[in-house]
Amino acid sequence: MSFPTDRPRRLRQSPAIRAMVAEHRMGARDLILPMFVKEGLDAPQPISSMPGVVQHSEASLLQAARDALEAGIAGVMLFGIPAVRDAEGSQGVDPQGILNRSIAALRAEFGDSLVIMADLCLDEFTDHGHCGVLREDGAVDNDRTLEIYAAMAVAQAQAGADVVGPSGMMDGQVGVIREALDQAGFQDVIILAYTAKYASAFYGPFRDAVDSQLTGDRRTYQMDAANRREALLELEQDVAEGADIVMVKPAMSYLDILADVAAASPVPVAAYQISGEYSMIEAAAANGWIDRKAAIMESLLSIKRAGATLILTYWALEAAAWIREGDA
């Protein structure tokens, strides 16, 4: 008995047929827009290493969030850049700190119509750029950092965050944050855990975006790029501690990790298409080496295909428009 060898080709004949049999589809609601808000700005400030992305003023942040709402994307993820930093990142806890007052401004402006997510980490707020406070020997003090994370989570919830995103990769961070939120009466606030966050060379442009003060690296607490099985251990721990959503970061260089986590996770899985991924595609497109829109959408589809429920991407607004126009 012989079998037809041209069946796959018959299913590729036209855009309409390809769309009909596509195994994976992406919608605007799959996308989350990361946004940076910097204290003291009068107008948006371009980020040189991320063409098209800006540090927002507090005023321009509101318009950008309105654009996100109108685009129909899933939500926004806020990162705050304070005017003053210190060793313990105290502006991250201060209700009047740039991140917390920006959360409050968005909540006042948009009510429950916009999902507001907030990065929960100290790296933007410390004068040394690490994700936690440091001991005298220069190592990160995990337990002292957890105390501050708990206070940050409550401050962000009080400001109006729907979702807090602990990204520091401290041991036990999800459990401590869940307990703090529950005790403060914020049982409904969602924890999006940065479950598998790798020490990556592709974070460089992000550090420009948040004016990072980091010297050295974060390899003692972020994951080693050589390790795969370890991500499932992190997943098991975060879910047990109460994570509502888990995330893999970076996305494109870690699609195998994303696929592993998506296959094993009992909760939704997010992936962060990080600054270096964004800047590489933008640079190649600016030089005429690749088709910009095609490369953007292919990169996003690869993340969706690997198993992401949600994708954090700086192209969220453009991609949503292309999807809406049927031009993706």
Report, as residue numbers or ranges, the catalytic residues. Answer: 197, 249
Please write down the HEC assignment for all residues of the chain. Answer: CCCCCCHHHHCCCCHHHHHHHCCCCCCHHHEEEEEEEECCCCCCEECCCCCCCEEECHHHHHHHHHHHHHHCCCEEEEEEECCCCECCCHHHCCCCCHHHHHHHHHHHHHHHHCCEEEEECCCCCECCCCCCCECCCCCECHHHHHHHHHHHHHHHHHHCCCEEEECCCCCCHHHHHHHHHHHCCCCCCEEEEEEEEECCHHHHHHHHHCCCCCCCCCCCCCECCCCCCHHHHHHHHHHHHCCCEEEEECCHHHHHHHHHHHHHCCCCEEEECCHHHHHHHHHHHHCCCCCHHHHHHHHHHHHHHHCCCEEECCCHHHHHHHHHCCCC
